[in-house]
Structure 1
Amino acid sequence: MNRDYLKQIMIDQKETYLNNPMINRDYPLEDNVNYCFVGIRRTGKSYMMYQQIKHLQENGIPLKQIVYVNFEDERLLELSADDLNLILEIGLEMSGADNKPYLFLDEIQNVVGWEKFVRRIADMKYRIHITGSNSKMLSSEIASTLGGRFMRVDIYPYSFPEYLAAQGKDKNYLEVLSTKDRAEVVGMCDQYVKYGAFPELVDIRNKREYLNSIYQTIYLGDIMTRNKITNDFAVRLILKKIAESVAKPLSFNRLSNILKSAGAVLGKQTVINYVGYMMDSYLLFTLQNYAAKLVEKETSPKYYFMDTGLLGLMLMDCSSTQLENLVAIELIRRYGRENVFYFEKKVEIDFYVPEEKLAIQVSLQVLDQIDTREREIGAFVKLKNFIGDATCLLITNSEEEELDYDGVHVSVVPVWKWLLQKRKQDI
């Protein structure tokens, strides 16, 4: 690539982070660490870079030492791994002879063979941050290539506190609330559950259209085109059936049979591959059964969408499913996806966090629904046979109560309040 042309693109892109309004994301980062920010498209990975750039400026690093390149820029489509060193050369030129540039490489996975360049730069003790929308960029092979030189940080759509801050709502809604304030926070939480929390969505009126544009970008770009898939019907059907099965264990055999009954005959391995591509794009994530044997953990997970708004595109009247999906997202945000499970062994518990011994059920309403209340609380009673000292939490749409039933204490908490609380010890 022409050196002067690349330099002009880098100068143009500098305007991007200089002119963007900042909503600080709640991710504690250290100064002397190289980070790899990963996550679904439009979730704010670039903003994490802008936030780090702002932090550097506040600590006296001049703009001339900051090199930011967004590889989603269509002008960089022909850039190859051999051209990456030009970025370093231009960065050194702009920084001055006695200064090292700070490198921010956005969506670097678009450049085939990027790993060796990034590792070499890290070995040369440059501070470098990278982002990517494909989980394979830190698979076991690439992780070994990078040699532990980066700390991976999963970036999620806005948490509820971040969502409120983005709308200028800085009240402490956990204090005693007026009727007006309570109605306000409940209303905003309803929107948060329904449309999800992609950062740019906050200021957009036609939220469904915007969500559909994100979905199409992920579907067409990260799933279909990247993996050279031509069977459009099969992929759409798989996504639809997974959406309909959110909150229920789903094996590949069962998924294959569901597809067959709907007219899409695919081999099991093809189904496995297609679902893997969906996971790679961060559109989906899974939780395993804590009580299952190892093989069952791997073969019968629960699937969830990384954003409740995307789930809402595929289902009608899905408020209950979106609520459970939202709780799943918040749990992996707080504890990491490797530390969150569901529990199924003669008792069905929606979520279980072993390190906290925290058992969670999710239901829109329970207090006035006798059958629902007995089913949800009865599950906690049965859980006592396996985990006698579990903390039992029942998350609802708006209900709140403390219940004692057959020796088990259950805290019924509205979702908005739980989202504003931090960890078990804060409940």
Structure 2
Amino acid sequence: MKRIERTAYLNKLIAFKDKNIIKVITGIRRCGKSTIMEIFRDWLLGNGVKDNQIIYLNFEDYDNYELRNPHNLYAYIKPLILQDRMTYIFFDEIQHVSDFPDIINSLNLKPTVDLYVTGSNAYMLSSEIATLLSGRYIEIAMLPLSFKEYVKGTDSSNNLPQAYTDYITRSSFPYTIELGTYSEIIDYLTGVYNTIVVKDIMARKRLPDVMMLESVIRFTADNIGNILSTKRIADIMTADGRKIDPKTVERYLSALCETFFVYETKRYNIKGKQLLKTLGKYYLVDIGLRRMLLGSRSFDAGRILENIVYLELLHRQKKVYVGKMDSLEVDFVAIDENNISYYQVAATVRDETTLQRELASLQQINDQYPKYILTLDEDPTADYDGIKRVNALRWMMGDVSL
């Protein structure tokens, strides 16, 4: 399999190397968590670390089944820990180990242990587990490939519009680059989807109705970028003959968010600079999954681009919200430490009416933070009294001239 060097994640791991803090790598299944561990292990070996300083265990490998027992695992690991040099321990899919917080905390107490763990669902960072690891871990949240990573992995920088079409049609999951036909990709995505639904959601949450769960999934996938409430979802689904109550919808959506299948985005009052409790939006982790679920009828260039821009902002380590400016909406408010940036997203703004509509909410914001309109229009960058209209693909590629 072609290995894509995911520099941003690698640099973050390097930055926390040898620090007395547990590195917890989270993300949806098959997004590349095991690969980034492999990349980092190779980096260690290339920078003076010896083979006997590295311990790697994947708990989804049946060869390690007995080590899912915490007593067996600790008995196996303890003799391998070096006393005079750092031992780098990598636990892949740690959620399979019973009482794993106790093991992790115990190993982290040892001065010559540097610990890295992955997990495919948020159980390992639920409120109870987070309390047990409080103050002793950092979460590195992974996503499938960004557009820039996809372009690099497919050597397609000479034709960004075609690369974008492939990106949203085929999938951002790394392994899909190795697959030839679209039917092969659909089969692969179906396998990923079924594993998430059956193993990560139905089994762990003990949900009684898989067909209703899949109805919620399809409804959410069909409504990316729409303001939603659990009551509205329940009312629409019930009207369509799929009777469900708001509490059940909330439970299902929570499970989808915990497995990183769906991301919830809260609303943010720009004037009051505070989060609003109701009516957020939901975005999918991968547009290829959306196409697999809904078919080609699901193609909506504007909403798909909005979903992709949202994921790109997450890739850039931003906290992302839906902005509310009086009666108007700003697609995204992205906050990074003390910096804020505002984004409107549209497939095209060549129509003057559309352009003025996208400008309107940004024009109401009086601060001096950057404001952008991102589109698929292949036009030169334009400036409207400080609001920049830029090509979304060049923006995702990190065009510094923007």
1:163 partner amino acid: Y
1:398 partner amino acid: D
1:87 equivalent in alignment to 2:65: no
**Cα deviation digits, residues 343-391 of structure 1 (max 9, x gap):** 3531121112254442211111111x3332232223333x23xx35353
SS in 2 for 1:352: strand
TM-score (structure 1 length as normaliser): 0.82
Deviates more, 1:389-398 or 1:74-83: 74-83
For residues 199-278 of structure 1, the aligned pairs below 5 Å read: 199-205=174-180, 206-278=184-256
For residues 99-110 of structure 1, the aligned pairs below 5 Å read: 101-110=87-96
Match of 2:283 among 293, 301, 304: 304
CA distance in 1, matches of 2:317, 2:200: 27
CA contact (8 A) 2:268 2:274 kept: no
CA distance in 2, matches of 1:303, 1:255: 12
Match of 2:324 in 1: 343
Q: Which has the higher strand share?
A: 2
CA distance in 1, matches of 2:225, 2:29: 23
How many percent identity over aligned positions? Answer: 26
CA distance in 2, matches of 1:312, 1:306: 12
CA distance 1:318–1:110, shift in 2 (3 Å): farther
Match of 1:10 in 2: none
Mind listing any 5+ residue stretches in structure 2 that lack a counterpart?
none
Kindly state the Cα deviation for residue 267 of structure 1 after the two structures are TM-superposed.
3.2
1:167 equivalent in alignment to 2:142: no
CA distance 1:426–1:352, shift in 2 (3 Å): farther
Kindly state the Cα deviation for residue 219 of structure 1 after the two structures are TM-superposed.
1.6
**Cα deviation digits, residues 88-126 of structure 1 (max 9, x gap):** 14634xx7x865632100010112210001000001121
CA distance 1:87–1:48, shift in 2 (3 Å): farther
Match of 1:26 in 2: 8
- Greater C-alpha radius of gyration: 1
CA distance in 2, matches of 1:196, 1:20: 16
For residues 127-146 of structure 1, the aligned pairs below 5 Å read: 127-146=114-133
CA distance in 1, matches of 2:62, 2:303: 38
CA distance 1:204–1:343, shift in 2 (3 Å): farther
CA contact (8 A) 1:194 1:322 kept: no
SS in 2 for 1:265: coil
Kindly state the Cα deviation for residue 197 of structure 1 after the two structures are TM-superposed.
1.6
CA contact (8 A) 1:247 1:304 kept: yes
1:231 partner amino acid: D
CA distance 1:294–1:286, shift in 2 (3 Å): farther
TM-score (structure 2 length as normaliser): 0.87
SS in 1 for 2:117: strand
CA distance in 1, matches of 2:375, 2:248: 38
CA distance in 2, matches of 1:294, 1:263: 40
Match of 2:41 in 1: 53
CA distance in 2, matches of 1:283, 1:160: 18
Match of 1:74 in 2: 62
1:117 equivalent in alignment to 2:92: no
C-alpha RMSD of matched pairs (Å): 2.6
Deviates more, 1:216-225 or 1:203-212: 203-212
Kindly state the Cα deviation for residue 311 of structure 1 after the two structures are TM-superposed.
2.2
Match of 2:136 in 1: 149
Q: Number of aligned pairs?
A: 385
Kindly state the Cα deviation for residue 151 of structure 1 after the two structures are TM-superposed.
1.6
CA distance 1:410–1:98, shift in 2 (3 Å): closer
CA distance 1:42–1:149, shift in 2 (3 Å): same
